[in-house]
A and B are shown apart, each in its own frame.
Chain A
Amino acid sequence: MSAPTGKGRTVRRWLILSLFGVYFLVPMLASVEFSLRDVNDTHSLVSWKKLLTEPGLFETLTTSLWVAFGTVALTLILMVPTVSWVHLRRPKLRKLVEGISLLPLVIPPIVLVNGVLVVFRDVPEVISGTPVILVLEYVILALPFTYRALDAGLTAIALPTLVEAARSLGASWPAVLLRVVVPNIRSAVFGAAFLNLALVMGEYTLASILLMDTFPVWTVSTGQSEAGVSVAVSLLSLLVVFLLLFVLSMVTGRRHRQVTAPIAPTPSRGHS
């Protein structure tokens, strides 16, 4: 960094950062204030207390956590072997897999769900009538950043050498995947898993159209009867996800940044 302008630049940088800080904090602080409002212009914790007794909170939260867990698991089961195989055996197919993986970016979730309603109309209720269908489709929604993260993770390690070594020592393929590949791309796996989680905990479009009572659906519906409670729960969910992500970035440190950067150009459809 060149010395002469250094100081001025620093001042300007902090000014910009503070302005953005204010911009992003105001709605959060406003939410805090709003969630504390009580009758006659007084403030109290009444909305927060009500939140705990509001019917449906724990049920829907449990459902969403199950769906999140299922999505993460199924995503990894499907994608780790696929991406590893392509890297090891058919590097030429990378473009194909990447292309398919990025397709969900072109299909707005509201359009996807339209087709899902038709295709899975007559499947057994275990699938179409339970959150299982959400798991199956969230894996699709999460594909773009799952692929990017795993692809980047595998590119960064000397995969062929590692695998060859393991194979020559007599390890089976599943063992190679579980004991050699996965540990070496741990932070990529974590990154993908986390973004899956954030997606599931925030996804509204599919869940609401498929009439599933998930946490985001509950938030919106509660928001129509209890304004204070819905603001409180929104705030809480943002904070929880933020803290999770923050802790993750602390834990994985620099390595995390390397692998999350490639995820970057992929917006998830959490809010869409």
Chain B
Amino acid sequence: MKKSFLGLVAGTAALALTMTACGSSGSNTPAASGAATATSAADLGGLDKLVEAAKAEGELNVIALPHDWANYGEILDAFKKKYGLKINESNPEGSSQDEINAVKQLKGQTRAPDVVDLGGAFAISAATDGLLAPYKVATFGDIAATQKDPEGDWVNDYGGFISIGYDASKVTVPPTSFADLKKPEYKGKVALNGDPTKAGAAYAGVYAAALANGGSFDDIKPGVQYFADLKKSGNFIPVQSSAATVESGQTPITLDWDYLQAGYSAKLKGKVDWKVAVPTDGVYSNYYSQGINKSAPHPAAARLWQEFLFSDEGQNLFLKGLSRPVRLPKMTEAGTVDKALLAALPAVSGDVKFPTTAQDDAAKKIIADEWAKALG
């Protein structure tokens, strides 16, 4: 094939020409025996064997885990401390799409991500593309069938609600619904957490807007139309919201996960008076999903990370970040949940429903086709 021939020529020449050996990552991964195909810890002879294999690998590559997102900072530290693995973090602010892209683009490289944490719809398409390795954690049975792939290609890990966050010092009349956000007083203020074609949080924001505007899980189009209108009126600004944009005042109003908003309030106390409201007209909740890169450079470490996240300890740490861990119902039942942390969660009204895999798939296609056209 022409492409690989060019690649070969280029490679040889480059090797010949490169006299400047730049700090190449000298980390060689020992091929962990069987870990790459293990679908449960039992396959390797139990959790202890898994820990052993992970320690032999010595490293774990994670991607797109902001430290102020669902308490990931503490979770990473706890994992490091517990197992003594080195964690390589890349592109902490990346979107779900960035994660998938890294899995594809870095396939076979030692710096490829071992594990991904994807917005629900993105996990489904990654699994369809065959990028994820099936794995069932010890607590797999605790998780409802609707919240996991039957083979364990992806499993929901934590979730939350789309909420409206705002800077109370700049936004004097608090917006409490999607309808409110259309008002002229919010001109140039409303932002999403990224581009819904790429980022799970922004995608969820559009879905929530759809629900508020006559759409349904089967019909996300009203959400796209909503943002197109919001853009036309000048209320919507094309800036990806983050702790920094909230701090710098670039995004006075954001539509984002409630646990992130709560994190901003805590982090920016004294700088920004950040308040949060769950929109009255479009209640939408969803979960993120864990997945293991099929060609993970550290397959055992990747699996150990899963075991840790879905253990009581890991799940309670998610809860500490004000997100809702997937095993929350079972843990409440069993009494293993940290009650103080649970009490700190804002109450939810009504019962929570999620779109099905098929609905998510269809919605994502529509976003891909229509978003750029509507907002371009």
A, B co-complexed: yes
Given A39-B271, A131-B22, A225-B68, A123 and B14 touching (CB < 8 A)? yes
Q: Are A67 and B22 neighbours in the complex by a CB distance under 8 Å? A: yes
Taken together as a complex, chains A and B put the C-alpha atoms of A220 and B7 apart, in Å, by 31
Which residue on chain A has the smallest CB distance to residue B93? A224
Given A136-B14, A211-B90, A225-B68, A122 and B7 touching (CB < 8 A)? yes
92-130 of chain A: CB within 8 A of chain B: 117-130
The segment out of B44-52, B241-249, B361-369 that lies at the interface is: B241-249
Q: Are B19 and A225 neighbours in the complex by a CB distance under 8 Å? A: no
Given A40-B270, A120-B11, A129-B109, A227 and B19 touching (CB < 8 A)? no
The segment out of B100-108, B114-122, B230-238, B281-289 that lies at the interface is: B100-108
Taken together as a complex, chains A and B put the C-alpha atoms of A153 and B276 apart, in Å, by 63
Taken together as a complex, chains A and B put the C-alpha atoms of A176 and B75 apart, in Å, by 61
Set of chain B residues within 8 Å of A63, measured between Cβ atoms: 22-23
B18 at the interface (CB under 8 A from A): yes
Set of chain A residues within 8 Å of B19, measured between Cβ atoms: 73-74, 77
B3 at the interface (CB under 8 A from A): yes
Set of chain A residues within 8 Å of B21, measured between Cβ atoms: 132
Which residue on chain B has the smallest CB distance to residue A217? B91
121-149 of chain A: CB within 8 A of chain B: 121-133, 135-136
Which residue on chain B has the smallest CB distance to residue A69? B20
Choose from B14, B22, B108, B243 the contact partner of A224 (Cβ within 8 Å).
B243
CB distance from A209 to the nearest CB of B (A): 9
Q: Are B90 and A136 neighbours in the complex by a CB distance under 8 Å? A: no
Set of chain B residues within 8 Å of A39, measured between Cβ atoms: 269-271
A37 at the interface (CB under 8 A from B): yes
218-244 of chain B: CB within 8 A of chain A: 240, 242-244
A205 at the interface (CB under 8 A from B): no
Set of chain A residues within 8 Å of B68, measured between Cβ atoms: 225
Q: Are B18 and A121 neighbours in the complex by a CB distance under 8 Å? A: no
Q: Are A132 and B18 neighbours in the complex by a CB distance under 8 Å? A: yes
Q: Are A118 and B3 neighbours in the complex by a CB distance under 8 Å? A: yes
Contact with A along B66-91 (1 / 0, CB 8 A): 11100000000000000000000111
Set of chain A residues within 8 Å of B7, measured between Cβ atoms: 119-123
Q: Are B20 and A225 neighbours in the complex by a CB distance under 8 Å? A: no
Choose from A62, A124, A133 the contact partner of B23 (Cβ within 8 Å).
A62
CB distance from A202 to the nearest CB of B (A): 18
Choose from A37, A66, A123 the contact partner of B271 (Cβ within 8 Å).
A37
Set of chain B residues within 8 Å of A55, measured between Cβ atoms: 89
Q: Are B248 and A227 neighbours in the complex by a CB distance under 8 Å? A: yes
Q: Are A123 and B90 neighbours in the complex by a CB distance under 8 Å? A: no
CB distance from A156 to the nearest CB of B (A): 29
Q: Are B271 and A73 neighbours in the complex by a CB distance under 8 Å? A: no
Set of chain B residues within 8 Å of A73, measured between Cβ atoms: 19-20
Chain B contact surface mostly: loop
Given A62-B23, A125-B109, A226 and B244 touching (CB < 8 A)? yes
Chain A contact surface mostly: helix
B128 at the interface (CB under 8 A from A): no
Given A121-B3, A225-B67, A136 and B102 touching (CB < 8 A)? no
Q: Are B247 and A228 neighbours in the complex by a CB distance under 8 Å? A: yes
CB distance from B319 to the nearest CB of A (A): 22
CB distance from B170 to the nearest CB of A (A): 14
Choose from B15, B20, B106, B244 the contact partner of A74 (Cβ within 8 Å).
B20
152-197 of chain A: CB within 8 A of chain B: none
Choose from B14, B22, B66, B269 the contact partner of A70 (Cβ within 8 Å).
B22
Taken together as a complex, chains A and B put the C-alpha atoms of A127 and B8 apart, in Å, by 12
CB distance from A22 to the nearest CB of B (A): 23
A84 at the interface (CB under 8 A from B): no
Set of chain A residues within 8 Å of B92, measured between Cβ atoms: 221, 225
CB distance from A51 to the nearest CB of B (A): 14
Set of chain B residues within 8 Å of A230, measured between Cβ atoms: 244
Set of chain A residues within 8 Å of B269, measured between Cβ atoms: 39
B349 at the interface (CB under 8 A from A): no
Set of chain A residues within 8 Å of B90, measured between Cβ atoms: 211, 213
Q: Are B102 and A135 neighbours in the complex by a CB distance under 8 Å? A: no
B24 at the interface (CB under 8 A from A): yes
Q: Are A136 and B17 neighbours in the complex by a CB distance under 8 Å? A: yes
Choose from A37, A74, A120 the contact partner of B18 (Cβ within 8 Å).
A74
A270 at the interface (CB under 8 A from B): no
CB distance from A59 to the nearest CB of B (A): 9
Set of chain A residues within 8 Å of B106, measured between Cβ atoms: 129, 211
Choose from A119, A120, A135, A221 the contact partner of B22 (Cβ within 8 Å).
A135
Given A74-B20, A132-B24, A225 and B89 touching (CB < 8 A)? no
A223 at the interface (CB under 8 A from B): yes
B4 at the interface (CB under 8 A from A): yes
Choose from A123, A223, A225, A226 the contact partner of B11 (Cβ within 8 Å).
A123
Given A122-B4, A224-B244, A227-B244, A74 and B17 touching (CB < 8 A)? yes
Q: Are A129 and B111 neighbours in the complex by a CB distance under 8 Å? A: yes
CB distance from B238 to the nearest CB of A (A): 15
CB distance from B175 to the nearest CB of A (A): 23
Taken together as a complex, chains A and B put the C-alpha atoms of A39 and B267 apart, in Å, by 11
B6 at the interface (CB under 8 A from A): yes
Which residue on chain B has the smallest CB distance to residue A42? B270
Taken together as a complex, chains A and B put the C-alpha atoms of A131 and B242 apart, in Å, by 28
Set of chain A residues within 8 Å of B242, measured between Cβ atoms: 224-225
B: residues with CB less than 8 A from A are 3-4, 6-8, 10-11, 14-15, 17-25, 66-68, 89-93, 102, 105-106, 108-111, 240, 242-245, 247-248, 269-271
| CB pairs A–B below 8 angstroms (13 shown) | A37-B271, A63-B22, A66-B23, A123-B10, A129-B25, A129-B106, A130-B24, A131-B23, A135-B18, A211-B105, A213-B91, A224-B245, A230-B244
